[in-house]
Chains A and B, each alone.
Chain A
Amino acid sequence: MELTLSLAVGLLIASGVWLVLRPRTFSVVLGLTLLAYGVNLLILLSGRLGATSPPIAMKGASGLADPLPQALVLTAIVIGFGMTAFLVTLSLRAMGETGNDRVDPADQGRAGKDPDG
């Protein structure tokens, strides 16, 4: 179980990073969303596995999950949305200003050459 979940987190991160490194803004937005999934899962896992019930402190409840990572991740999800929205708007603005959706406007001027390889 531990190995499976760890691999899932790693897969999310790897896919996210690869997309972030693409030259167009839309891919970067996709990539950052995946990165956020991966990081949120990782933080949640820091509470460890093995919990059998959600962190509701009822009388006699046992096997509660660790509430602290959950509280951290909850706000992280919402703020992640704010960041995604900001990034999307920024890329739209860049589209409006430069007429294309490249991450690096410098790419454009040296179209024939590989600008950063």
Chain B
Amino acid sequence: MGVPASHLVLAALLLLPFVALPLVALAAGASRRAGGFATGFTMLGGLLLLAMIARPVFAGETLVVTLPWLSQWGLDLALRLDGLGLLFVILINGIGLLIVLYAYYYMPDDDRLGRFYLTLLAFAGGMLGVVLAENILLMLLFWEITSLTSFLLIAYKYREKEARIAARMALAITGGGGLALLAGLILLGQVAGSYMLTDILARGDLVRESALYPATLVLILLGAFTKSAQFPFQMWLPNAMAAPTPVSAYLHSATMVKAGVFLLARLYPALSGTDLWFVLVTSAGAITFVLGAYLALLKHDFKGLLAYSTISHLGLITMLLGLSTPLSPVAAVFHIINHAVFKASLFMAAGIIDHECGTRDMRRINGLMRYMPITATLGIVAAGAMAGVPFLNGFLSKEMFFAETVAHPALSGSAEFLLPGIATLGGILSAAYSARFVHDVFFNGEPADLPRIPHEPVRWMRLPVEVLVAIVLAVGLLPHLVVEPLLTVASVAVLQHPLPPFELAVWHGFNLPLLMSLVALGGGIIWYMRRERLFDLHERLSLQWSSPVAFERAYAGATAGARRAMRLMDSGTLRRSVLLYLGFTVLLAGWAWGGNPAAVAGPIATSLPDGTALFGVAVLLVALAGVLAFHRQRLLAIIYLSVVGLVVSLAFIRLSAPDLALTQLSVEVASIILLLLALRFLPQEGPIEEPKSRQLRDAAVAGGLGLGVSALALAMLTRPFETISAYHIANSKPLGGGTNVVNVTLVDYRGFDTLGEIAVLAMAALGIQALLHGLVLKPQVADARTLADRYPIMLRMLMRPLLPLALAVAVYIFLRGHNLPGGGFIAGLVAAIAIVLQYVSAGAAFAAPRLRLPFVGLLAGGLLIATATGAGSWLFGQPFLTSSYTYVTLPLVGTFELATAMLFDFGIFLVVLGTLLMVLTGLGQLGSREQPGAGES
């Protein structure tokens, strides 16, 4: 076939984590170690799959796979692998692999880790989806998967309140951003005319010139900024440190928070290059960069320090993407790589220290160089990279960053120094908090009353840190060899055009960026040495607005507000809800109508009513007035209601619908019996308990609705229309085998619907039986037993011979139903009423043992027959219930066709019969069950 192997590999790369989930669950159930191996091999497998298809990508190709899915909504399963995706797959799977190994040793031994590995893997799958999606709606789907799974990961220690709050906060912020992103991406797709990245990236000018561009950009930035914790959405990230350290190391170095900057980089050719982009992205990035670095220094918890440092570095990357100089995206991609590597190693080193010391407070942890020299050395190197010390990877990208702020042309004059100034200030602060991390943790005297004496961790726990620090050094020393191919291909993917020349080198000669680096490092150390005064200041002006307490308060307030709004709408009383709903419908319809009388009557002229119609409506009016006036005198109301039903039946005849008239008439009889039976147990008269005002208010709503429906009916009747039933009428006899088109429609054209309808009927009957079960009610009327003519002899004598007659009529109606008015529904109703009348005339004690009908059996039998008839068509290789259509085209089976439809109709007959008997006899015997002598009950 025409599917290249690389396409299959790409799909497999994305599917692998999801497919592996059940296997990991099984393995983790077997043992902790097996679960770890299964997860690790899944991550490794992803890298191997990537290696199989990496070569063409490095050569500059973009792999795109498209599987049609919901194409009419622009949603296809389309995947793409280009340089940027390649880079992120390496980060996701590569660092993921190290995290799996690390977590195995970090997490407490009594944790079986099944939940951890499953959530981690699902999260990794979500991340892979985000970076591999070609369709932006598909990307959003995976984006939401990462939001949900990161919620589960942050709340991993869900017994701790802190973790629950942190997780909720992260979900509220990133989930809210996800909603904005959904809107933004839909706008983007509309503006660009396609939801495929290939098209969108090529149509940047179209997007930027659109009137919707500002809205699109702001919505998408909301998504990116919430995810990447950019100002003012940064507060969820430090709180997310409540997660276990492996989770933090994964989410806050290479994956979750990088999704936001990934999005900015991904859509860079479509969205960047405008002033709006520059202002929004650069300023958000710059504020985040400086604010994060400033706050990082103030944290005594070293994980908190790393968290704010992460915010700061994300700000740096965002700022680079905002600058939009020819090389700034390259620097951004470079810093994405470098930050992922050194920050993951720092988090893991911090986790080791936490694990060994039992605390994360830098005022107590000091001088660890003596206790764990190897870990300390690794930590120092990684922190050096974070500060931007030469010969380490962070130095290179930071220097590129400095160079780009200098090179940016937008600001001139006195503002010329603004961007470099911000960059240098951020650099100073970064160096200061890095210095604090190194000095406080590894030097600065002796540890202060630690819970235990720290020592080096087990070999395998340190291995992930060693690997990452080795990369830090390798990139820092030999950038040209180690990272340049990957950086180039990823940057080309971001820019979508060849890169301007640039040189990755440690030494560029003396220039302004180098000077800025030196100022940053030196200034940082000075700043750090002066920190005590800063701490005092911070204690006094403590910023509480980003605390989880404040968030919780806002959260509780929003919840209470929502509850109040809900109570306003739904006070818990059904009538109020119904009134609100109906009243709103009237208002809405009135608004849509707009008071234009011409909108009601259509072009077709109305005709004058004939005498029959006028008489019918007059009777209807009287009967309705009776129902309304006497709705409290319930027996009278039932009698008036039956008159209304009769008029409706007659109207059906007048409107050439004899089937409906027959059905309505028999249902009418059954309904009246039903209501009379129920009335025995209800108060005979309803009390007057409502103020007139409420009755009038309800009358206004009811009148409005009635008028609206009248207008609707009139509008419908006075407009031309073309029926689709010409086909049904024409084919009724030749294909359906019957001339009664209504019946043929029920059992043939729309047989599947009918099957569903009789199933609903059977369910209602069963539900009624369940409701009646164990129900004890006291009859509200004098028991008929006390009266002399309990079962009037005339009625009794008349009904017994009438039963076979009535049943014969039912059979007749059933048999002729396919060609003349009748059929299973009506026959079932007639037969049921004939049988129920035996109960009415002679009592259940007489009728039940003589008839011995299994009601549930009737229901089940009817449904089975109808279903089997439908399934029978499978034997002829036809779809369910679409039988007769094709049968007739074969010779000799024309008669057979008739038989299947009739069998289906027989199923309907049985279900209707069973339902009516079950309901009416069930209600009828309700009183007699606990009689006599049941006393109070």
Contacts and interface: CB of A to CB of B under 8 A. Distances in A.
Interface of A: 1-27, 29-30, 33-34, 37-38, 40-42, 44-49, 51-58, 64-68, 70-71, 73-75, 77-86, 88-93, 95-96, 101, 103-104, 106-107, 114-117
B775 interface: yes
Contacts, number: 310
Contact of B740 (A46, A56, A103): A56
B658 A81 contact: no
Given A1-B610, A91-B682, A92-B682, A67 B671 contact: no
A80 B710 CA distance: 22
A115 B14 CA distance: 57
B663 A1 contact: no
Nearest to B651: A41
B654 to A, nearest CB: 10
A56 B651 CA distance: 18
Given A70-B742, A88-B675, 17 more contacts: A1-B607, A1-B610, A14-B707, A17-B706, A19-B631, A22-B698, A42-B713, A44-B657, A54-B659, A56-B739, A57-B730, A58-B739, A65-B657, A68-B723, A71-B746, A71-B749, A77-B667
Interface residues of B, number: 116
27 contacts: A2-B607, A9-B710, A11-B624, A14-B706, A14-B707, A19-B631, A23-B689, A24-B686, A25-B682, A30-B637, A30-B641, A37-B644, A45-B717, A52-B656, A71-B742, A71-B749, A74-B825, A75-B753, A80-B667, A82-B764, A85-B768, A96-B775, A106-B573, A114-B694, A116-B579, A117-B691, A117-B693
B745 to A, nearest CB: 4
A10 B746 contact: no
A53 B656 contact: yes
A71 to B, nearest CB: 4
A115 B573 CA distance: 8
Contacts of B675: 29, 88
B606 interface: yes
A57 B739 contact: yes
A29 to B, nearest CB: 7
A6 B709 CA distance: 8
B138 to A, nearest CB: 39
A66 B825 CA distance: 19
A10 B180 CA distance: 44
Contact of A55 (B606, B620, B742): B742
Interface of B: 571-576, 578-579, 582, 606-610, 613-614, 616-617, 620-621, 624, 627-628, 631, 634, 637, 641, 644-645, 648, 651-652, 655-660, 663-664, 667, 670-671, 674-675, 678-679, 681-683, 686, 689-691, 693-694, 698-699, 701-703, 705-714, 716-718, 721, 723-725, 728-730, 732-733, 739-742, 745-746, 749-750, 753-754, 757, 760-761, 764-765, 767-768, 771-772, 775-777, 819-821, 825, 829, 912, 915-916, 919, 923, 926
Contacts of B730: 57
A89 B772 contact: yes
A106 B660 contact: no
Contact of A15 (B576, B624, B645): B624
Contacts of A16: 702
A5 B613 contact: yes
B618 to A, nearest CB: 10
B768 A86 contact: yes
Given A8-B620, A68-B723, A106-B572, A56 B820 contact: yes
